[in-house]
Amino acid sequence: MIRNLTRAGSLFTIVGVLAISSGASTPASGQQPAQIVDVTVERFSFTPSEIRMKAGTPVEIRLRSEDTDHGFRIAGTEINITIPKRGRGTATVRFQPDKPGRYEFECSKLCGAGHAFMRGTIVAE
91 binds Cu ion (CB under 5 A): no
Shortest approach of Cu ion to residue 41 CB, angstroms?
9
CB nearer to Cu ion: give 35 or 68: 68
| Dihedral angle over CA of 56, 78, 39, 61, nearest 10 | -40
Q: In this structure, are residues 38 and 62 in contact, taking their beta carbons and an 8 Å threshold?
A: yes
115 binds Cu ion (CB under 5 A): yes
Binding-site member from 107, 120, 122, 124 for Cu ion (CB under 5 A): 107
Q: In this structure, are residues 111 and 43 in contact, taking their beta carbons and an 8 Å threshold?
A: yes
Rounded to whole angstroms, the Cα distance separating 68 from 81 reads 14
Shortest approach of Cu ion to residue 8 CB, angstroms?
32
111 binds Cu ion (CB under 5 A): yes
